[in-house]
Every structure is written in structure tokens, then in C-alpha cells.
Amino acid sequence: MDKKLKVLFIASELTPIIKVGGLGDVAGTLPKYLKPYIDIEILLPDYKSIKEKLEFIPNSDVKINYIDIPEYFSSRDNIYGYPDDPIRFAAFCREVVNKIEKKEFGDVDIVHINDYHTALIPILLKDRELDNIKTIQSIHNLGPAYQGRYSLDLLNILELRHQHLTIEFDKYDNEINPLLQGILNSDIVSTVSPTYAKEILTKEYGGDLNDFLELRKNELYGILNGIDYSIFNPEVDITIYSKYNRDNYKIGKLENKKKLYEELHLNFNSDYPLFSFISRLDYQKGIDILISSIKTLKNKNIHFLILGTGAKDFENELQTLNTQDKNMFAIIDFNTVLANKMYAASDALIIPSRYEPSGLTQMIAMKYGTLPIVRSTGGLHDSVFNMTTGFTFENYSALDLTNVLNEANSLYKSKGWDEMIENAMQQDFSWHNSSQRYLVLYNKMKSN
């Protein structure tokens, strides 16, 4: 019998152990779907804030390995947010490669790295002449703030034994860009939706790395993220008020809506649709144009509910609006239980992103019978189809968002609205399909 591929999946966060964003969801779910076909293990920094060190990803036999460097991880209160974050994760990469070199994980065939935090592993593997190990660099967000740029002091942490052209080239601006190193030195580059893979080749979306990505475009793949229906499913979700499925969603959603209004002390009106926003409050997520739209629509028969934390100016503006607009209610909080209740209770979910590599909330919303209203970019373009499973708009502007919100409002409770909900709830965004595409890439790398 052929030996299974041995893959190390390396990430800076992992649901349910430690999570900040969508990367944690991917790391906590994709390996479970890959495990039946390959031998896969997780490597994760040993953060101080980890409350329970699970040995395996829940409901699987995917082993989790915790890598500690006390100076940088187990002695720090937070996951991210330190000025020396790139140094911390460079040290993590060095320690991972030390362990791989010592064969602490056996004979490794492929290393799957994620975002800038682990992007220095390919150059380190080359430096140790471990060329038989293939690497895939997954990009979950290419924004300039997510590239890990740091001074040349970063090189002291890496302890490179040889000179490398990509490092010498990178040094010219007196900075090292870890994500650039991952892009140039990995065997394959992947990102989290087909459309985002095309968008990052452009100046608008490429985060100043589009020219380098163009060099790798023959090894660049876009695979849409999935969601875990054992968690995000109104039929089994224990966090919502009343479970339901596609056969009884009208009764189920109405019950959840009434209960949510009751919990939040809001005035329920069955004639008003509930349009929600569940996200970080920052420019990437489009909160600026949403606030402008809400101001325009404040006298319309629409209820807006916003959940999130982020930039203080947006938090303050929303709290001011809370006192001015009786149809708008904002909760400045990160609350996953309340988020699930909102998915179940809402009629539509607004996702007006400037850019969205993949997005998970639109997929979750559809499963809960909540129609996504999205700007057609990245993974939103690949997963939401206008007037079929939701509403889309093209231009990033408050006017275009306002127009599509008015359109959605005009169709609320119509036959067309019901048909769209039934279409949306039938969509399959499980990890099964996406994981098979990763297996194809793994086998492609190993055969080359």
C-alpha cells in the first residue's frame, strides 16, 4: 500500500483553540476534511491565552502540535498587536524548521503555510537544503497591513546559513517582507477564492505585490473557503432560539426574530425587514458606506442591526446613530453567540466590502435563510448570485449600496424573496468540495 502524503498545516490561529479571524476557521476545519486521504498534523504557536490545549482538533484525529518560544508566545498576553510581531513569527518559523530538520514529525512531504506569519518557512527549508519538502503558501488577506514588513533585524532571527537571491533583492528598501518571501519561494501559491486570485494580479488589489504574483501566476490557484455545517446549521445550532430547516424556515426565522427583538429590547414590527451587519468595523468591510446608507434610509421601513468592534471613529459614530435613528441598533461587541442568533433572525445580511478574499458570513447567512447583500468582489462574487441567492452591487459607493438596499426592501415578503431563500439554503459550501481541490494541488506538487 502506498504511503500517505505527510502534510504539516501551519497557522497562527486555530478554531476553537485560539481565533481572531477567518484563518482560524480554515485551520480548524480544512485539515479534518483532508485527514481521510493524507497524514496531516497542525502546528500552532503556544500562546499564553490558550485556555485549553486540545491534543486533537475536535471531532477528528488531526493532531495539534504547540510550538513555544517563551520570549515571544507563552509570556505574552495577546496573539497579535505587538510592534515586534514579524520578529515573533520569524522565530516561530525558524523553530518549526528546526523541528522538521530533526524529523520530529517524521518524513514530511508538504508544508502548507498560511499568511505572513508562516511565510518564511520556504526560504528556511531551502537554506537547510531540505529541497525534497514541497511548500504551498496560502494567502488569506494580501492587504499591506497583513504582509509582516519589518526592518533588516528580522534576518538576525532567521540565522540563515546561505545567501539567497530573494532575500538580497528584498533588502534594497531596508525591509524584509515575509509574505513576499513566501510568494517567491513556495512551490505553489493559493488564495481563498477564484476571483481573489485574479484580483490580486491587479494594482488595485495586489497590495504592491501584484508584479511578483504575476511572475507566479502559473502556480497561483484560487480555492473558495468552505464552512462547517456541523456548526453553522440552523437545524443543529444550539445557540439560536429555535431550530429550523428549509421545510419550516418561515416559522423558525419568525420565532428567532421575535426572541432576538425581545432580548435586545427592540420594538418588533413584522412588516419591517431586519438587515444586519456582522463584522469588523473597518474600511475593508465597508462600514463607512453602510453608515452613509443608513443615514439616507433612516426614515424607511427597515430595521438595521450592527454587531462588531473596530476603529474607534466608527464605533463612536454608530453609538451616536443609536440615539438618533429609532430603526438602527448597534452593538459594539465581539459575540459569536449573538452573531448566530442574528443569522437566524435576520432577513438579510449586508456585506459591502471594499475587497473580500473569501468571506464566510455570506455562506453562513445563506444556510440560515438570510439573504446576503454584497459588493461583488473576491469570494462574494464567487458565492452570491444576484436575484438568485442574494443581492449584489458592483461599485464601491454609498449610492450603489443604498440602491440595492432599497431593491431588497421592495422585494421583502414577495414570492421572489421566498424563492431566493430556498435557493440560498440549498447551496453547498461545505469543506468537502474545497478540500478535494487542495488534495489535487498536494498531489501535483509531490509528482513534480
**Residue pLDDT, tens place only, 249-286:** 999 999 999 999 999 999 999 899 999 999 999 999 99
Are 178 and 307 within one domain? no
Q: What is the pLDDT of residue 21?
A: 81
**Count: domains in the chain:** 2
List the beta bridge partners of residue 393: 375
Q: What is the pLDDT of residue 187?
A: 97
Are 401 and 265 within one domain? yes
Other Cβ atoms closer than 10 A to 224: 22
Are 264 and 186 within one domain? no
d(CA 320, CA 164): 54
Q: Give the orientation angle of helix 336-345 with respect to helix 249-264, to 10 degrees.
A: 130
Q: Determine, yes or no, domain membership for 242.
A: no
Are 200 and 264 within one domain? no
CATH number at residue 128: 3.40.50.2000
Are 311 and 186 within one domain? no
Q: What is the pLDDT of residue 275?
A: 98
Q: Determine, yes or no, domain membership for 409.
A: yes
Contacts of 83 (CB under 8 A, 6+ apart): none
d(CA 279, CA 116): 22
Are 218 and 288 within one domain? no
Are 330 and 439 within one domain? no
Closest-CA residue to 354 (of 443, 425, 290, 447): 290
Are 161 and 198 within one domain? yes
Q: Give the orientation angle of helix 249-264 with respect to helix 415-426, to 10 degrees.
A: 90
Place of cell 473569501: 358
Q: Which residues of the chain have pLDDT under 70?
A: 1-2
Closest-CA residue to 317 (of 291, 338, 341): 291
d(CA 37, CA 57): 16
Q: Which three cell numbers stand for residue 114?
A: 498560511
Q: Which three cell numbers stand for residue 163?
A: 545567501
Are 103 and 165 within one domain? yes
Dihedral of CA atoms 175, 179, 185, 186 in degrees, nearest 10, equals 170
Element (H or E) spanning 393, and its range? strand 391-393
Q: Determine, yes or no, domain membership for 234.
A: no
Q: Which three cell numbers stand for residue 26?
A: 480554515
Are 342 and 222 within one domain? no
Q: Which residues of 351-383 are buried (b: 16+ CB within 10 A; e: fewer)?
A: bbbbbbbbbbbbbbbbbbbbbbbbbbbbbbbbb
Angle (CA) 29-438-382 rounded to 5° is 80
Q: Determine, yes or no, domain membership for 233.
A: no
Q: Determine, yes or no, domain membership for 128.
A: yes
Contacts of 447 (CB under 8 A, 6+ apart): none
Q: Determine, yes or no, domain membership for 195.
A: yes
Q: Determine, yes or no, domain membership for 238.
A: no
**What's the domain range around 211?**
6-226+432-447
Q: Determine, yes or no, domain membership for 28.
A: yes
Are 159 and 179 within one domain? yes
Are 222 and 309 within one domain? no
Q: What is the pLDDT of residue 22?
A: 84
The model's pTM is 0.93
